[in-house]
Chain A
Amino acid sequence: MYKYRLSEHTADTGLEARGETLAAAFASAAYGMFAIIAGLGSVREAETRRVVAAADDIEGLLFEWLNSLLYYFDVEQLIFRRFDITELSDTRLVADCRGEKYDPARHRLKTGVKAATYHQLTVDKARNRVRVIFDI
């Protein structure tokens, strides 16, 4: 259900995500980011966090959304795999994110993501596509 693909970038990794709706594209981007970080197959939907992101425009909101999720990974070691976006405007997003605390016995971590960057970040509202480059 989450649709994304990774693109080549010399030092970092780019991601293009899409969906039936813009909210679905934002959810796909989040899933894609966690798929860079970890193998998501073994991650259970054991915990939920409500994430509220706010920004001045839709591009800023994508930046804020993805970076907010990285905060949960750093502080609570949460790996999310499901993103139910219940509200999305140009300036505000509310989502219930489900996943599990990192367990070295069951989870495989892959590549660290330092941050989502603004470089070449785009949100195409007409086609429900977003693009972002991560600092790895």
Chain B
Amino acid sequence: MPNWGGKLEKLDAYRYRIPADYKPGMRVPGLIYASEAMIGQIMADQAPEQVANVAFLPGIVGYSLAMPDIHWGYGFPIGGVAAMRVGDGVVSPGGVGFDINCGVRVLRTNLTKEDIAPKIDALIDALYYAVPSGLGSQGKIKLRGKEIDEVLKKGSRWAVEQGYGREADLSATEEGGEMIGADPSRVSARAKERGVPQLGTLGSGNHFLEVAAVDEIYDAAAAAFGIASVGQVVLYVHCGSRGLGHQVAEDYIKEMLRAMPRYGIQVPDRQLAAVPVDSPEGRSYLAAMRCAANYAWANRQCITHWVREALCGALGVSEATAGLELIYDVTHNIAKLEEHEVDGKKVRLCVHRKGATRAFPAGHPDVPPQYAAVGQPILIPGDMGRASYILAGTEGAMRETFGSTCHGAGRRMSRAAARKARSGRDVLAELKARGIAVRAGSTGGLAEEAPQAYKDVDEVVAVADGAGISKKVARTRPLAVVKG
């Protein structure tokens, strides 16, 4: 893998710029959030080139941005944020990715690490059996006839109406778990066929369930998030829109490649296929993408219900005792129409976040009332051996990154390299030695997701916090993990 040899200027301790004259065709400069310690690793692959390529897209404003967990993706870098003017800019399915609304949610409990320690194995087994996971898994939910369209329109609300979860979960989900403007007629039959058998499944790859305990609290905002003390148990759910989202992305990349010449749009990589936001194809993609986003929210909502049942069953406690309230649910693969200030003026933008999380500050109208005083919760899963973080949105993010921040630790090792470095069995043994119980569909998959395959989430979050694009609230340490 060749090192990237492009132009990069250090601006300060947390920011590096790729000047707009690096490549003819760049409409804006690139901006990478990273520390001195991290930038070498970021330049070890072609991710910065992808930041530069995204800057070609029509209507892009400010910078082509890369969050500190940036790594080489396909088309857009993972950790990429790009905002295009709705008036004359484009929307790109490659700027969202195949796994539309891949995202993460966190449930808090009233339990402590000590409460669950004696039953941790029973708990992780119960979670493993309650939530279908792994490659080839199919869901327990049987959708009949046109029911899939209801899932696509209503998202989490559909799930709650079916008895999966609580009404209060909705206001603790980005977009209320139900993105407005979802039109199932824009989703192909093929996409729906892929979605039907997979609703209520975790999937494979980097998707997981994690039982964790709070190990450090940094900010008083924790209280508003229901995080009261060190040792408190929380649960993470990380998954996306499964085959349905993949098919929507594929369908619209094809359609846009066909339409692009008509709009006179040229891109340096076909995976960046894009059309005007305000065009029939652009509107159609957004309507279909919102359906896939709603499917993903319904998916996480159903899983949440089973997680609650499994935990209460395994520990022999009631839901009232356990708590298990949803803190929040964030999407990290999405395009959204939002209003932001550009050069002192309010402008409507299509903000692409690919492997990036929304980070709206206190007082923003889209932050749910329970968090209005402290800012939107941001959930950053790290790797399965070290730590994960809960952050809060900031004004700094609104000023600099269209209200966005990082989404995870970010990979640093290829899957093949990770497999070569450690066997799944070694990874399992190491995690066990650290006191982390693991259930996984395949040990090979486990090797690919080894902690060493990821950047150090402490460093990634330190950059996001130091640059002011989000604020550290709490850190958690894993106790038990189900890998998809």
Contacts and interface: CB of A to CB of B under 8 A. Distances in A.
A62 B45 CA distance: 25
B136 A8 contact: no
B416 A6 contact: yes
Given A75-B194, A75-B197, A135-B99, A118 B270 contact: yes
Given A6-B416, A10-B412, A64-B254, A119 B75 contact: yes
Interface string A118-136: 1111000000000001011
B269 interface: yes
Contacts, number: 122
A118 B269 contact: yes
A56 B261 CA distance: 13
Interface residues of A, number: 38
B74 A55 contact: no
A135 B414 contact: no
A133 B204 contact: no
A118 B258 CA distance: 14
A111 B194 contact: no
B43 interface: no
Contacts of A120: 74, 269
Given A117-B271, A118-B75, A118-B270, A67 B194 contact: no
A11 B73 contact: yes
A10 B136 contact: no
B271 A60 contact: no
Contacts of B414: 8-11, 13
A112 B257 contact: no
B249 A115 contact: yes
B449 to A, nearest CB: 11
A49 interface: no
B349 interface: no
A92 to B, nearest CB: 15
A111 B444 CA distance: 8
B72 interface: yes
A84 interface: no
B75 A11 contact: no
A11 B254 contact: no
A77 B136 contact: yes
A114 interface: yes
Contact of A109 (B73, B134, B190, B197): B134
Given A11-B73, A118-B75, A110 B250 contact: no
A135 B242 CA distance: 12
Given A63-B250, A111-B445, A118-B74, 20 more contacts: A10-B413, A10-B414, A13-B414, A13-B415, A55-B254, A60-B254, A63-B254, A70-B246, A71-B190, A74-B242, A102-B136, A109-B442, A111-B415, A112-B205, A115-B98, A117-B271, A118-B257, A118-B270, A118-B273, A119-B73
6 contacts: A10-B1, A12-B73, A74-B243, A109-B136, A119-B270, A120-B74
- Considering the complex of A and B, which 7 residue pairs feature the smallest CB-CB distances, nearest first? A119-B74, A112-B204, A74-B243, A118-B270, A117-B74, A10-B72, A119-B271
